[in-house]
Structure 1
Amino acid sequence: MGPHGSLKGVAKTALGVAMVRAGESLRDDRLFNDPYAQRFLDAAPRAFPEEPTSAEDLAELGPLASLGAVFAFHGVLRTRFFDDYLLTATAAGCAQVVLLAAGLDTRALRLPWPGGVRMFELDLPEVFAFKEAVLAGCDAVPTCERSVLPVDLRESWSGELVAAGFDHAAPTAWLAEGLLLYLTADEAARLLTAVGELSAPGSQLAFEHGDIAGSVLLAQARGMPTMDPYTSLWKGGLGQDAPGWLRRHGWQPQINDLAELAACYGRPAPGPASGGFLTAVRTRRWAVVA
């Protein structure tokens, strides 16, 4: 079986994120450095056979060039923003970090964590089968304690997290990066309800909020046959109700605007920059149903 043979569907999107992170890591003005991203791509050389290889292919791609630039822009900013979010949360006392749908994230290896931080990475078994094989070949050494849990987040996973040593009485920094878009509203609500039940007061949570690109570009993507394998996976999560849902369930949310962050990072947007990132602080343990 080829090295990328088991990465399909949602799992395969992790390679697309790795491509964005590898590209950013080559820039002189990079916002982060992920030295492992290119290793994942090297281990899956034929993962994206739909990429253009000729002038005819490029012409057919047409409007998706703009869409790809916006997606890459968003992926770079969200990586840097969530890097900063997690480092700030752990410095403030969240000694546990949980990455929901960790994908090919390498923050456990590349960020300077405070002493005593323990990270739990949750994702599908096929993701970790690929990821751990590549990292083993890199002689990668975590800069915090790292635990890997192969689970399906659409099913029950809390018990496995606790069994792995997670302490539900301790404040935790949760990250659901690039996840909720692929869940229905009900699936997202179940997931975040479980997160709330495991979160002591003072815990923090972060995920994307709003469109990752302008609605016109998203409509173009949905109209392109080459994008069908990806757009068919988009379910929308909690949608625009995410801040209200969090307030009703024991969190105090804050929206971080993408355009403002782009200006702060000195990285101009290649097109309309809508949406942003939502962070929240846990104010009480148990979810309160509206």
Structure 2
Amino acid sequence: MTEQGRSTELEDQGLPLTALAVAAGRAVETSRADQLVADPFASALVVAARSHLDLPTVWPAQPAEAPPLQQPLLLASIYIGMRTRFIDDFLQSAPATTQTVVLGAGLDTRAFRLPWPEGARVIEVDSANVLEFKAHVLSRLSAEPRCELITLAADLSLPWREGLLAGGFDPAQPTTWVLEGLLPYLDAAAQHAVLNEVAVLSAPGSRAVIERAVALPKTDGIEAKLREFSEQTGLPMSELLARADPQDPIELLEAAGWRCTGHTVEELCSTYGRVLSLAAPDAAAPVAAGPGVPGPDLTRSGGPAPEQQPTPDQSRGGFVTAWMP
């Protein structure tokens, strides 16, 4: 079951806390002097939700001295900033497509803040309450999309193809697919189903950027880490993240004829000049942020035993970029 289908006990203003935490991460990144992303709407979205969590929206002068409950979220904002910039760069690179589909769009604002080419159409897919809240807040800000924007309410753990086709998606056109922070909330079967639909619905010339899901076998070590992080931050990751050892998207897409490239989080750190740490550069070893949304690092000391760890290219998930010839 995805975060879209969780009970309202896990939500503020009817919103998944993880969606708010990711928006807060973008707000923090935007506030940095060395920002990788400028999202002028992220902070307003967080404020409008009136969350019971103390979500940071500004990068502090001394991040290592921030309140203990905010430190994991500040740490995660470093990852979110790199993730957002990586996907932004992909979307603005050639060869662009007229049609873009964002699966599990959450409070993403790319339709409003990126320079889209003339005639571009963006289709955002997520739960109705998330899409309606975002539209309401952005309307109050007098924000206008910089492309044709179509929103589709759907639970991506259930069949969604017919709704996409009815909503204006054209399977005869090349499509750019964005899967950001989605797969970790789906079990292995649902991940496979989503990626299979992407492959089936893609015309030649389509492309995709996909955030991998970390393999999360159900072990005592992983369960303890998830519970600890959930208790520390108030984000119920122990209840939200699916326990799954999913097939790598590269394997599935290459079998369908796609050409794929994997990108590790370490590669992003090198590209964007970031370190996943709140410590000063000469301080002790950093504490790492997890993938998808703010989460615990399951692969450093205190995590699962070495024989239970994911392979290096999947230790924090990483990303896949793919192209359909």
Question: In 2, are the aligned partners of 1:93 and 1:171 still within 8 Å (CA)?
Answer: no
Once the 2 structures are TM-superposed, how far is the Cα of residue 225 of structure 1 from its aligned partner?
Answer: 5.2
Superposed CA deviations along residues 154-204 of structure 1, whole A, max 9, x for unmatched, are 122212212222111111100010000000010011111111111011211
Structure 1 residues 136 and 66: CA distance shift in structure 2, 3 A: closer
Q: Which structure 1 residue ranges, 5 or more long, are not aligned?
A: 52-60, 284-290
- Aligned partner of 2:142 in structure 1 is 139
Q: Secondary structure at the match of 1:239?
A: coil
Please identify, of 224-233 and 168-177, the stretch whose mean Cα deviation from structure 2 is larger.
Answer: 224-233
Q: Which structure 2 residue ranges, 5 or more long, are not aligned?
A: 1-10, 57-66, 278-285, 290-315
Asked whether 1:17 is paired with 2:59, we answer no
Aligned residues: percent identity? Answer: 39
- Aligned partner of 1:97 in structure 2 is 100
- Aligned partner of 1:55 in structure 2 is none
- Aligned partner of 1:56 in structure 2 is none
Question: In 1, are the aligned partners of 2:101 and 2:175 still within 8 Å (CA)?
Answer: yes
Superposed CA deviations along residues 46-74 of structure 1, whole A, max 9, x for unmatched, are 342699xxxxxxxxx96x76644442221
Asked whether 1:230 is paired with 2:237, we answer yes
Please identify, of 94-103 and 64-73, the stretch whose mean Cα deviation from structure 2 is larger.
Answer: 64-73
| Aligned mates of 2:70, 2:54 — CA distance in 1 | 17
Residue correspondence of structure 1 range 214-225 to structure 2 within 5 A: 220-224=225-229
Asked whether 1:205 is paired with 2:208, we answer yes
What letter corresponds to residue 159 of structure 2 in structure 1?
Answer: S
How many residues matched? 265
| Aligned mates of 2:159, 2:25 — CA distance in 1 | 31
| Aligned mates of 1:193, 1:117 — CA distance in 2 | 25
Q: Which runs of 4+ in 1 moved over 6 A?
A: 215-218
Once the 2 structures are TM-superposed, how far is the Cα of residue 113 of structure 1 from its aligned partner?
Answer: 1.1
Superposed CA deviations along residues 90-121 of structure 1, whole A, max 9, x for unmatched, are x4141101000100000000001111110000
Superposed CA deviations along residues 229-258 of structure 1, whole A, max 9, x for unmatched, are 222211156636332122223322211121
Question: In 2, are the aligned partners of 1:259 and 1:269 still within 8 Å (CA)?
Answer: no
Question: In 2, are the aligned partners of 1:32 and 1:80 still within 8 Å (CA)?
Answer: yes
Structure 1 residues 238 and 166: CA distance shift in structure 2, 3 A: farther
Structure 1 residues 219 and 94: CA distance shift in structure 2, 3 A: farther
| Aligned mates of 2:170, 2:141 — CA distance in 1 | 31
Q: Secondary structure at the match of 2:92?
A: helix
- Aligned partner of 2:41 in structure 1 is 36
- Aligned partner of 2:252 in structure 1 is 245
Aligned mate of 1:6, from 8, 14, 38: 14
Q: TM-score, normalised by structure 1?
A: 0.82
Question: In 2, are the aligned partners of 1:180 and 1:238 still within 8 Å (CA)?
Answer: no
Question: In 2, are the aligned partners of 1:101 and 1:122 still within 8 Å (CA)?
Answer: yes
What letter corresponds to residue 230 of structure 1 in structure 2?
Answer: M
Structure 1 residues 140 and 121: CA distance shift in structure 2, 3 A: same
| Aligned mates of 1:96, 1:177 — CA distance in 2 | 17
Question: In 2, are the aligned partners of 1:125 and 1:151 still within 8 Å (CA)?
Answer: yes
- Aligned partner of 2:321 in structure 1 is 279
Question: In 2, are the aligned partners of 1:188 and 1:238 still within 8 Å (CA)?
Answer: no
Asked whether 1:72 is paired with 2:80, we answer no
Q: Secondary structure at the match of 1:280?
A: strand
| Aligned mates of 2:240, 2:52 — CA distance in 1 | 17
Q: Secondary structure at the match of 2:178?
A: strand
| Aligned mates of 1:66, 1:217 — CA distance in 2 | 20
| Aligned mates of 2:19, 2:37 — CA distance in 1 | 17
Once the 2 structures are TM-superposed, how far is the Cα of residue 275 of structure 1 from its aligned partner?
Answer: 3.9
Aligned mate of 1:128, from 126, 131, 146: 131
| Aligned mates of 1:221, 1:80 — CA distance in 2 | 27
What letter corresponds to residue 196 of structure 2 in structure 1?
Answer: T
Asked whether 1:261 is paired with 2:280, we answer no
| Aligned mates of 1:121, 1:75 — CA distance in 2 | 19
Structure 1 residues 218 and 160: CA distance shift in structure 2, 3 A: same
| Aligned mates of 2:163, 2:97 — CA distance in 1 | 20
Question: In 1, are the aligned partners of 2:100 and 2:176 still within 8 Å (CA)?
Answer: yes
| Aligned mates of 2:48, 2:107 — CA distance in 1 | 12
| Aligned mates of 1:143, 1:130 — CA distance in 2 | 19
